[in-house]
Amino acid sequence: MLEIIPLPVLTDNYIYVIHEPVSDETAVVDPALAQPVLDILNKKNWKLTYILNTHHHWDHVGGNLELKQKTACKIIAAESDRYRIPGIDIGVKEDDVISVGKQSARVISTPGHTSGHIVYHFAEDNTMFCGDTLFVMGCGRLFEGTAGQMWNSLQKLKALPASTRLYCTHEYTLTNGRFALGVEPDNIALQQRMIEIQRLRAENTPTVPSTIEQERATNPFFRADSLTVQKNLNMHNQPPAQVFAELRKRKDSF
């Protein structure tokens, strides 16, 4: 299994350092900053092999070049973002497979938040690094894509095995949960989950990882095809992509 260390940085970002113990290879996902990564590498006596970027925003790639300079790691990111992500060595696209030691990840294209956003799904490890496409009880804003694109992207992730653990790169969960309760106030699973989320945040503990199963039950952006959600939005029997668009519009001004 992968050893995964979340590093809280900036206001609400997570960097993920992942270590494959058999090969001793190490990767970092979306390094906003270099120094926290260098510190954990030094503490663990690990050598950085790869940077895995999900998209081009500065708070996901800000540490790329310093880490590459100091560790000689290789940077993997979407080929379509080669000119927006600094230092790319290996450009990838949908269904390409990359490896960190003995663990392999399939690349899933998830346009919406940005046009070139990708997700890394380590199927054997039951783990997904989803950047800003999917959050715990939320999803990313539509900066470069359409609601239809994002809905289709979320369907790819929703179809993954229920036990898949998702590691998103922002701690937005409390606000997301409050919005979700406004959409589905009678959702018992959501009510129970918010109690747990509030406890975790009171202890300053990350709310990640979540699972696909939990998101199917509580994430309104996964649930735009739910009759309950549609009814509560006065959008009964409307196309799910349109319901999703309305949800995203409301969340933008929440």
* Catalytic (active-site) positions: 55, 57, 59-60, 113, 132, 170
With vertex at residue 136, the alpha carbon angle to CA 178 and CA 17, rounded to the nearest 5 degrees, is: 140
Q: One-letter amino acid identity for 98?
A: I
Q: Quick one: how far is CA 60 from the chain centroid?
A: 11
Two structure tokens written together for 231: 């009814």
Alpha-carbon dihedral sign for residues 175, 181, 184, 187? positive
In angstroms, the CA 145 to CA 153 distance is 11
Q: Label residues 17-38 b or e (16+ Cβ within 10 Å = b).
A: bbbbeeeebbbbbbbbbbebbb
Q: For residue 29, what are the β-bridge partners?
A: 16, 52
Angle (CA) 191 253 184, round 5°? 25
Tokens of 50: 């790869």
DSSP conformation letters of 14-66: EEEEEEETTTTEEEEES-S-SHHHHHHHHHHT--EEEEE-S---HHHHTTHHH
